Amino acid sequence: MGDMVPIECPQIHSNGTISSTVYAPFHCADTNTPLQLPYGLDAMLQCVWSLDEGMYNMISNSLDMKASYTCRVPMSKEASIYFPLTFSFWGQVKSTHIHLMTHWNFLFHAMDGFFLGGSVYPLRDHWVAAEKGSVLLIHGPVRWFAAHTFESTLQDAWLHNANAGTVPNSNAETAKQGPLPPRPIIAPPDNANVKPVKEADLPTVSKLLSAIPRSSFIFYVFASIGASFAISTLVYYAYLKPKLLLEKKRQ
């Protein structure tokens, strides 16, 4: 528990293509340390990505659905077997720059020192504009779940910051704060152009039918009856009648 697990990522070429055989620990530009996860400990993670030509082109290709940036994580300390960890990008490619969401969730399932799987995905936050040669601050919570469930691996623990080089605060500072309060429900301001949905406002079959003009409703009913009659007639003359005539001749 708490051991730092490195994330290894494929080599990126200057045109944005990705190597399928060469992997190395991914380094954060702000600390010049590998991007690591504290095994079994919930944490807040941040890592500055330097957008050189290769990284910028790779992200652009990913946003255009032309590439997938899949890194890997060892399944255990001793194992030489890895599971894939794909970084999903959400944004837009412009002519001179890209817009990107930089708030990500890092979710993992583990049991008895083994990784069972994980996922990294972006959440809607604030668009960040970036161009070649700039940097991006990737940040978000790391959460661990027990085995194949969504039960926390640390039932009685609060938020842990496991590595001062990767996570902004130390464990000691976090422990002094005590358990985190429940997350508040974000409500729109009073003057927002959003109205709460009431049960009476929800659509029902009767409401949907009443919304259709009477003339249109009658037209659709007769059109349905006519279509059914036409199909029945076609089946009779194209299939049933020839079959009956053939059987009659045989008799």
User: Is there a single domain that holds both residue 163 and residue 236?
Assistant: no
**Model confidence, pTM:** 0.58
User: Is there a single domain that holds both residue 235 and residue 150?
Assistant: no
205 backbone φψ class: left, alpha, beta (φ>0; ψ -120 to 50): alpha
User: Is there a single domain that holds both residue 165 and residue 237?
Assistant: no
- Asked if the structure places residue 21 within a domain, the reply is yes
Number of domains into which the chain is organized:
2
- Spatial neighbors of 205 by CB under 8 A, at least 6 apart, are none
- Asked if the structure places residue 240 within a domain, the reply is yes
| Contact by Cβ (8 Å): 158, 180 | yes
- Asked if the structure places residue 33 within a domain, the reply is yes
User: Is there a single domain that holds both residue 19 and residue 113?
Assistant: yes
User: Is there a single domain that holds both residue 32 and residue 139?
Assistant: yes
- Asked if the structure places residue 195 within a domain, the reply is no
3-state helix, strand, coil in the chain (%, to 5): 25, 35, 40
- Asked if the structure places residue 242 within a domain, the reply is yes
User: Is there a single domain that holds both residue 52 and residue 145?
Assistant: yes
User: Is there a single domain that holds both residue 54 and residue 130?
Assistant: yes
- What whole-number distance in Å separates Cα of residue 30 and Cα of residue 33? 8
Q: Which amino acid is at 107?
A: L
User: Is there a single domain that holds both residue 69 and residue 106?
Assistant: yes
User: Is there a single domain that holds both residue 211 and residue 172?
Assistant: no
Q: Note down the domain range covering 91.
A: 4-177
- Asked if the structure places residue 187 within a domain, the reply is no
- What whole-number distance in Å separates Cα of residue 77 and Cα of residue 33? 19
- Asked if the structure places residue 200 within a domain, the reply is no
| Contact by Cβ (8 Å): 101, 127 | yes
Domain end point (choices 132, 161, 177): 177
- Asked if the structure places residue 17 within a domain, the reply is yes
User: Is there a single domain that holds both residue 36 and residue 98?
Assistant: yes
* CA distances (Å), origin 112, targets 56, 75, 76, 109: 38, 11, 9, 11
User: Is there a single domain that holds both residue 111 and residue 222?
Assistant: no
What tens digit of pLDDT does each residue of 154-212 get? 443 333 333 334 344 444 554 555 554 443 333 334 444 334 444 455 445 555 555 55
- The candidate with the shortest Cα–Cα distance to 110, out of 163, 44, 42, is 42
- Spatial neighbors of 226 by CB under 8 A, at least 6 apart, are none
- What whole-number distance in Å separates Cα of residue 143 and Cα of residue 44? 9
Domain end point (choices 162, 177, 192): 177
Domain end point (choices 158, 177, 196): 177
pLDDT in tens, the chain (251 residues): 778 888 999 999 998 898 888 899 888 998 888 999 888 888 899 999 999 999 999 999 999 988 889 999 998 887 788 999 999 999 999 989 999 999 999 999 998 888 889 999 999 888 899 999 999 999 999 999 988 888 876 443 333 333 334 344 444 554 555 554 443 333 334 444 334 444 455 445 555 555 556 666 677 777 788 788 888 787 777 777 777 777 777 76
Residue 124, Cα to own-chain centre: how many angstroms? 10
What pLDDT is stored for residue 80 in this prediction?
Answer: 82
User: Is there a single domain that holds both residue 57 and residue 137?
Assistant: yes
